[in-house]
Structure 1
Amino acid sequence: MLALSIAWRQLRSLWSAGEIRVLLFALILAVTATTSVSFFTDRIKASMQTQGNVLLGADLVVNSDHAIPADYLAEAQRRGYQTTQALEFSSMVLKDETSELAEIKAVAAGFPLRGHLTISKQSATSAIAEPQSAQIPAKGTVWIEPRLAQKLALQIGDEISLGESQLLVAAFVLQEPSRGGDMFSIAPRVLMNSSDVAATGLLQFGSRVKYQLLVASDNNTQAQALENFAEWLQPQLARGERVDDIRSARPEMRNALDKAQQFLGIASMVGVILAMVAMLLASIPYVQKSLDAYALMRCFGASKKLITQILLYQTLLLALLGSVVGCVLGFAAQYGLAILAGRLFLETLPAPGWMPVFLGLATGFATLLTVVWPQLLRLRAVPALRILRQDLEGDVRMNVLLFIPAFVVLAGLVFWHAGDIKLAAIVFAALLALVAVAGLLAWAGLRVTQSFSVQNFGIIKLGLMGLRRRPILTIAQVVGLSMGLMAVLLLAFVRNDLLKSWQSSLPADAPNRFVINIQADQIPAINDLLTAHAIQHADIFPMVRARLQAVNGKPINSDDYKDDRAKRLAEREFNLSWAAQMQADNELVAGQWWRDDDAGKPLLSLEQGLAETLNLKVGDQLAYDVAGSQLKLTITSLRKVDWNSMHVNFFAVTPPKVLDNYAANYLTSFHLPAGKDAVLNQLVRQFPNLTIINVAAVMEQLQGLLSKMSYAIEFVFGFSLLAGVAVLYAALMATREERVRESTLMRVLGASKKQVLLSMLVEFLCIGILASVVANIFTNIAAYYLAGFILNIEYQFNAWFTLQALLAAIVLVPFAAWLVARKQFDQPPRVLLQSI
């Protein structure tokens, strides 16, 4: 207890003196950054784990792009399970002279098997609605989401046109199982009775429909046996069919969550890394101030064992305090993260669990012990003679091996947040590159300043000499500030520069409407209608649904591909089209386009990206299943498609007459000028089966989603910026005693307070410039990659944006240094000499 008591009293003393405040702040920052992200993602995972069946609306769902085989339903009923069926498709909804794209879900009796449909029959605004559970809509009625009601000004009792049917709005859907959030919905929901679908006439050849068979058990015994049913289904599944259960509920949401967790995790990891650097720097004055106290203890007979116990208790108390405060702040911060992310994944989230708390405590204790403990070992070696001779510190040679545990903890945290060895390696490589560039620029700058003469550059050279005396600290400060600055710059650059460039790269008359589900006999009338209203539109393109079966005689198997996109492409249906001439926004990159006399020959032109993803090349023979018959085509060319043109394009194109024997439907795109919405309404009224996709609205929704995510990530990157400031402050505190001696000597030798202050400001002005240069270099490299490989636009260097970042660093870094060190310049030389 003696060791614990002494440790506590020393902590209080060091806190009063201000020596451990930076250390504690950095520790709290690291734990807060870790736990805030962990709390947020843990709540989402917990919701998906505990409410997976509600997300599905059942215990098991068979999804298919064609009608569910009757055998599946018969087998489920034979085993005594509850069953129901549903189907989903997109279509236009009309009310008077306005129309809107909606996602239609037609459900049968018993839906949902898990969870409850929540509706309101009073108001479309859920905030004032009186929700109630309900069964499925009655025949002849629909339930709609409030946002559709707002767009079409619908009230209870209004009629809407859906295809060839008139249906009554009977309620507003507030919550629907199997639709866990609106992240991936491009249109509002309309819920209808499945018995009304046929009368709408919307399901025609080529219509994209998702069929579902929902299965649920009545009791726990059946729940265990349900796995046997899933095992029975697996070998029966045909292409385009899959089984989802609680573990695989909403795979698209799980994939998005994994990516978001990785990105947020890496963002928080930047803050943790910088916080560890700040802890290391802050431990220097912490140890320095404690040398005299432990030398005095040695004079009174304290053993190394007792000193070790005191140091251990002191470190553990500090770790406990910082970790607990960090966990509390992380718990509060995750609510802000959830608000900024909006209804990104799920409408409601369960209360956070305890696992993030354990992770935060482990992070706090592991980082502090491994970073600070090697420094504390200096205190064990301090001799009692230091009471008389201040220059004695014992054996203070720092063995690099002592910091191996810190590197191991750092590597473990990076890997845990990244969730992938390759991604973790990239993070480490980026950090090493950042350190190397910062060190190289600092070294180059110092070499240049050696040629300055003291007479001409007196104050400047005095400031630069401070950088030369502390090269390691200089690099640490540059790295810390540049990482924090780069995190903020990159997000601002992406949102404010790249996205604007992306939008401005689109022509003013770029197509903003796509029309699908066009039937062959409707083409002349649609052309006439659009032409009559002076709407310039592209050709109406044919497409035939086909599924890739084999490549060069080898059956295609999604398991043969490692890439997730390749797996999806191997499983999905393709749209084959035909054309005599290559479109203007296509560029031939391999092979030859066909001649006029190639019409009817089994040739194929593929989009370059698709070919690379599926490892296809010119000369390969592909076998497709088209409406039950096999079609073999040979690849003769690869095309690079400019998807940003927003025109209709296809992955796979054949010469004319190759697909004449197969039924096709058609699609087109056009630019709808403002104020001509009546044309769309007339088009849908005349051809109810058409589906019109408002590309501008979809892009707006995607931009809103991106904005939500960018705000959330900026929130996490804020920890990085704070940690960068902490590194700067810790470095100042670590060299405070040295700076006091330097300023005292300069004042004694006749330097004015102004000159001493200016020399320090010059030093940190250089640090700010170096940090800004490093941050801008890496920000522009990342922006170049995003522009060229993600957004597919031409990268343009933004000189004004770079200059703003440079000016901000030039002003803020010296100002922050002045705030920290200003008190030492207010004292006369006599007081400074007495303090040494």
Structure 2
Amino acid sequence: MWVKLAVKLFLREFKRGELTIIFAAIALAVLTVFSLSSITERIGLNIDQKTSDFIAADRRLSSNHAFQPEILTKASDFGLATAKMLYFDSMLFANDELVLSSVKATTAGYPLRGKLIVKTSLIGEEHEVAAGPTPGNVWLSEGLFYSLGVKVGDEVELGAGVFTVSKVLVTEPDAPFFSLSGNKRVLLNYDDIEKTQTVQPGSRVFHRLLFAGTEQQLTDYYSWLKPNLKSNQNWEGIKDRQSPLGENLARSERFLLLAGLFGIMLAAVAMAVSAKRYCERQYDPVAMMKTLGGSRGTIRKIFLLHLSLVTLSSIVVGLLLGFVLQHIGASYLAQFMGTVLPAAGMKPWLLSCVVGVLCALMFSLKPLLDLFDIPPLRVLRRNLGDSLTLSKVHLSLSMLTILVLMWVFSGEIVTTLILFGSTLVVIAVLFAISRGLFFAGRRLGLRPGSSWSLAIATLQKRANANAVQLISFALAIKLMLFLVVLKNDMIADWQMQVPEDAPNMFIINIAEHEVQPIQEFFVQRNIPHEAFYPVFSGRVDAVNGEPYARRISKQEGEQQEEQAREGVSREPNLTWLDEVPEGNEIVEGKWFSNTDEIEVSVFEGWRDVLGLELGDVITLLVNEQPIEARVTSFRSVDWGTIKPNFVMILSPNIAGQVPVTYFSAAQLQAHHTKDINALLKRLPTVSMIDIKARIEQAQSIIAQVSLAIGFVLSIVLISGALVLISQVQASLAERMQEVVILRTLGARARLIKLATLYEFLLLGAIAGLVAAVVSDIALLIIQQQLFSVDGRLHPYIWLLGPATGALFVAVIGYFMVANTMRQNTQGLLRKIA
């Protein structure tokens, strides 16, 4: 019986618009979460795919020894595409010239991600190819053509084999960001390794397996592979690469995460306010039901069914609208970026449904309980039950729910607490301001007939309601200001780390006697360049005499104690310097002393990875020669600058104990090509690495993140407007009564209109000012804690906040009540009745 009554009442209230507010709020929450999480996930996947091109796969497995055959067999069982690679150094011979080159042998599937770029001659046009050389052919990098004096079509000897030079190798997707092999690179077919007879038992070679597939396939395969990995095998992805690209990828994920959190917060605020307002509007119907004999249990069932029906319908509508919105947004972004965004997974769907249900339950629970306690006498005494309007329990539940939603969405408690804490500050400050206005207005005195006086009187009368409105307005403005600063300042700061005059070429393999001629070459042609650094490779073998064990990958998001130990499984490039280089800062310890002991300064990111402390003695293997160095300092290093940086810098007293070459970096223009070719011919042992593609990739990531945040900003603006509309709509009945009273007392229409406009201007300006100040402080903390950059204030938003807030709230608020003020008094009385 009660179900029939509940459905009948539900349909009637839905037609009358009684459920509009809570329906719109839940739909808004679901729509916002779905669209934001879908867009950010799709752009994140696109960035991951782009960066995966730089390891030529989604994951790779590295080892100094051959792999077990079952590793590839099992990968096929999991549906993964695979490719094999082998690295080794060998002498290349042609035209009576002998050059040491770095050889990479690949199978037909290489590269699994990205493209190889080649030329058919030294002066030919660059073009992409999907696979490496066929058996019997080799591709040589440009430097080898100069060193050997060969051209495409000539034959070269590699080990015991003779091969035809079929193409000029320009770029490989997984070319090292910095390598001593430089432009002395050879690409060989994997089947021709035996023909060279270079790889023998005990040879110094490096094996790699490449894998490509879906994230689920890779995760399932790694679950099988993990217990079978040997100590000399490393599973890694792009996040494991210590490079500017890896740094930019990690930073882009934090930007997208931060942007998504704003949408979660705004949707939750809209739901909390709307749910409370809906229950308040049901006080009179519940009192009437009780007067007519309705039991508490029946009333509870009716309204719980109403809540269930409106929640289900609003979630469905929110998902549909969110899907359409994210599809339109993704299509626009994909067209702008010239790419196809990958499809999002199930996470946005599941997260949106959870948010909708959780919001409906947690934000409506306490108001519904209050609703059931409304006394029947309210039909005679309309003020009964008003004491339930503000509930500390409801506020606490709402805040707890918002905190949990943000934490679940982000997975980062520090970021969540910073944003949530700044929100609490906004709430506290605005409540204090709202109460202060109430008392200050009385002291100032009000002049009859003044629009400003009437506006302040209205603010005083609705002090508690205005406090809630102020908070809603301020949170919407706060999120907008956050995104404006993210897009205009923090993204710009990030982009400034790859300035226009950044080096785009590394010059390596420079002998000591060649440093001065190259330096003179740069000076004569006004080519900007970095200093010339001595460089050598060294393997981190032990600390305090204790050898390292292999650790597994951080690509799969494992715990800190199981992360890969960078530098253990490879030989990083090392140098020695007299002073701390530009872009480095000592965070602990001190620079080198004048002792006879060799000392070392270590990149702070390796402190935990290698388990180092000040005073530890590191054993480095340099050409199998053990060298011990004591750790005297840890440095912060800005890898995103695309400039020469080192994970370890040794004291100058190591000079003469290890063989070195020198390297530098320069910013070359297109018109320098002819002169550079002449220099390479004159100094055939010198190599150059073109890193323009790496810089373009970093800039591409920044552009995508900037576009994503712009899209999020547009959604937040729409959501903020909807929140404001729902707030104003909730007070329309009370405003109608005020207009009727004022007209009865003889107030002119112009006075009422201006007073209403000034009221919204004051609310918007106050909310904007508080939002701006709190936002700037929160951004300062976020810059330091989340992005590890020097935080700075943004005074321009202290003016932008109040101005934007006043305009935003005044325009939308006045538009909402304009129709009410245009109606005659009789019409308003009929609506109120």
Q: TM-score range by the shorter chain?
A: 0.7 to 0.9
Which residue of structure 2 lines up, in the alignment, with residue 154 of structure 1? none
- Which position in structure 2 is the counterpart of 1:413? 405
Deviations 1:734-781 (A, max 9, x none): 222222222322222222222222222222212211222233223433
Contact 2:574 2:649 in 1 (8 A): yes
Preserved CA contact (<8 Å) 2:337 2:704: no
Q: CA deviation at 1:709?
A: 1.5
Deviation per residue, 1:117-159 (Å, 9 max, x gap): 99999xxxxxxxxx99989645436699xxx9xxxxxxxx999
Q: Residue 140 of structure 1 is aligned with which of 137, 140, 151?
A: 137
Mapped to 2, the partners of 1:814 and 1:472 lie a distance apart of: 20
Does the aligned pair in 1 maintain the 2:374–2:384 contact within 8 Å?
yes
**1:140 is aligned with what amino acid?**
N
Looking at structure 1, the residues matched to 60 and 499 of structure 2 have their Cα atoms a distance apart, in angstroms, of 43
Q: 1:374 aligns with which of 366, 373, 395?
A: 366
1:749 alignment partner, one of 723, 732, 745: 745
Quote the offset at 1:314 in angstroms: 1.3
Contact 1:20 1:282 in 2 (8 A): no
- What SS class does the counterpart of residue 676 from structure 1 fall into? helix
Alignment of 1:244-393 (within 5 A): 264=256, 267-283=259-275, 286-298=278-290, 300-336=292-328, 338-339=330-331, 342=334, 356-382=348-374, 386=378, 390-391=382-383
Task: Describe the SS at the equivalent of 2:659.
Answer: coil
Write the distance in 2 (CA, Å) between the matches of 1:346 and 1:534. 36
Counterpart residue type for residue 454 of structure 1: L
Aligned residue runs from structure 1 range 112-511, under 5 A: 137-140=134-137, 167-168=165-166, 193-194=189-190, 211-213=207-209, 231-235=227-231, 237=232, 241-243=233-235, 264=256, 267-283=259-275, 286-298=278-290, 300-336=292-328, 338-339=330-331, 342=334, 356-382=348-374, 386=378, 390-391=382-383, 396=388, 400-401=392-393, 406=398, 409-443=401-435, 448-455=440-447, 458-500=450-492, 511=503
CA 349–480 in structure 1, closer or farther in 2 if over 3 Å, else same: same
Looking at structure 1, the residues matched to 45 and 605 of structure 2 have their Cα atoms a distance apart, in angstroms, of 37
Confirm whether residue 27 of structure 1 aligns to residue 26 of structure 2: yes
**Is the 1:382–1:395 contact (alpha carbons within 8 Å) kept by the matching residues of 2?**
no
1:4–1:314 contact (8 Å) kept in structure 2: no
Q: 1:540 aligned to 519, 532, 536, which one?
A: 532
TM-score norm. by structure 2 comes to: 0.74
CA gap of 1:310–1:88, structure 2 versus 1, over 3 A, is farther
Distance 1:510 1:119 in 2: 25
Residue 554 (structure 1) shift: 4.7
Given candidates 647, 654, 657, the residue that maps to 2:650 is: 654
Kindly state the Cα deviation for residue 677 of structure 1 after the two structures are TM-superposed. Answer: 3.8
Partner SS for 2:535: strand
**1:656: Cα distance to partner?**
3.7
Deviation of the 1:242 alpha carbon:
0.5
**TM-fit CA distance, 1:170:** 11
Deviation string 1:67-122 (CA, Å, 9 cap, x unpaired) is x324x4589799999996315899xxxxxxxxxxxxx9944346469x8999999x
In the TM superposition, residue 210 of structure 1 has moved relative to its aligned partner by 7.0
Matched residues in 2 for 1:423 and 1:502: separation? 19
1:723 to 712, 719, 722: 719
Look up the equivalent residue of 1:701 and give its one-letter code: Q
Give the letter for the 1:668 counterpart: S
Q: For residue 763 of structure 1, what is the aligned residue in structure 2?
A: 759
Instruction: Go from structure 1 to structure 2 and tell me whether the alpha carbon gap of 1:42 and 1:828 turns closer, same or farther (over 3 Å shift).
Output: closer
Letter of the 1:325 counterpart? V
The superposition leaves residues 137-189 of structure 1 with CA deviations (integer Å, 9 ceiling, x where unpaired) of: 45436699xxx9xxxxxxxx99999999985469999x99x99xxxxxxx9x9
2:9 equivalent to 1:10: yes
Equivalent position of 2:92 in the other structure? none
1:207-229 Cα distance to aligned partner (Å, 9 max, x none): x997404699xxxxxx9999887
Give the Cα–Cα distance (whole angstroms) in 1 for the partners of residues 516 and 821 of structure 2: 85
Uncovered stretches (5+) of structure 1, i.e. residues with no partner = 91-103, 122-130, 149-156, 180-186, 217-222
| Equivalent residue number for residue 604 of structure 1 | 600
2: CA distance, partners of 1:325 / 1:161: 68
- What is the aligned partner in structure 2 of residue 577 from structure 1? 575
- Partner deviation per Cα, 1:502-523 (whole Å, 9 max, x = no partner): 7779998665543234455654
Change (3 A) 1:563 1:280: same
Q: Which residue of 2 aligns with 1:711?
A: 707
CA-to-partner distance for each residue in 1:411-447, whole Å, 9 max, x for gaps? 4322210224444434432322332333344455555
Aligned residues: 765
Residue 814 of structure 1 deviates from its aligned partner by 0.7
Contact 1:446 1:468 (8 Å CA) reproduced: yes
Unaligned ranges ≥5, structure 2 = 90-101, 119-127, 143-150, 176-182, 213-218, 553-558
Q: Contact conserved, 2:450 with 2:751, CA < 8 A, in 1?
A: no
Residue by residue over 1:380-410, the C-alpha shift from the partner in whole angstroms, topping out at 9 and shown as x without a partner, is 4455555555555599577644676655543
Residues 289-332 of structure 1 show CA distances to partners (whole Å, capped at 9, x for unaligned) of: 44444445445543333322221221111111100011122323
Separation in structure 2 between the aligned mates of residue 227 and residue 707 of structure 1, nearest angstrom: 35
1:800-819 equivalent positions in 2, closer than 5 A? 800=796, 802-819=798-815
> 2: CA distance between counterparts of 1:105 and 1:478?
67
Asked if the contact 2:537–2:574 (Cα under 8 Å) also holds between the matched residues in 1, the reply is yes
Deviation of the 1:30 alpha carbon:
0.8
Contact kept, 8 Å, 1:575 with 1:650, in 2: the verdict is yes
CA contact (8 A) 1:84 1:214 kept: yes
Residue 818 (structure 1) shift: 0.5
2:769–2:802 CA contact under 8 A, matched in 1:
yes
CA contact (8 A) 2:106 2:132 kept: no
Query: Aligned partners of 1:87 and 1:500: how far apart in 2?
Result: 41
Q: 2:96 maps to what in 1?
A: none
1:637 deviates by: 5.8
Deviating more after overlay: 10-19 vs 133-142: 133-142
Question: How far apart, CA to CA, are the structure 1 residues paired with 2:190 and 2:425?
Answer: 59
- TM-score, normalised with respect to structure 1: 0.73
CA distance in 2, matches of 1:69, 1:818: 74
Report the alpha carbon displacement of residue 28 of structure 1 after superposing the two structures with TM: 0.9
Are the structure 2 counterparts of residues 58 and 542 from structure 1 closer, same or farther at C-alpha, using a change threshold of 3 Å? Answer: closer
**Amino acid across the alignment from 1:526:** I
Are the equivalent residues in 2 in contact too, given 1:545–1:576 (CA < 8 A)?
Answer: yes
- CA 1:790–1:292: 2 relative to 1, 3 Å: closer
Alignment of 1:623-702 (within 5 A): 623-636=619-632, 648-656=644-652, 658-672=654-668, 675-684=671-680, 692-693=688-689, 698-702=694-698
Deviation at 1:544, TM superposition (A): 1.6
Q: Work out the CA distance in 1 between the residues paired with 2:225 and 2:349.
A: 39
> Which residue of the partner structure matches residue 93 of structure 2?
none
Taking the aligned partners of 1:530 and 1:132, their CA distance within structure 2 comes to 34
Determine the structure 2 residue equivalent to 1:822.
Answer: 818
Partner amino acid, structure 1, of 2:106: A
C-alpha distance in structure 2 between counterparts of 1:270 and 1:210, whole Å: 46
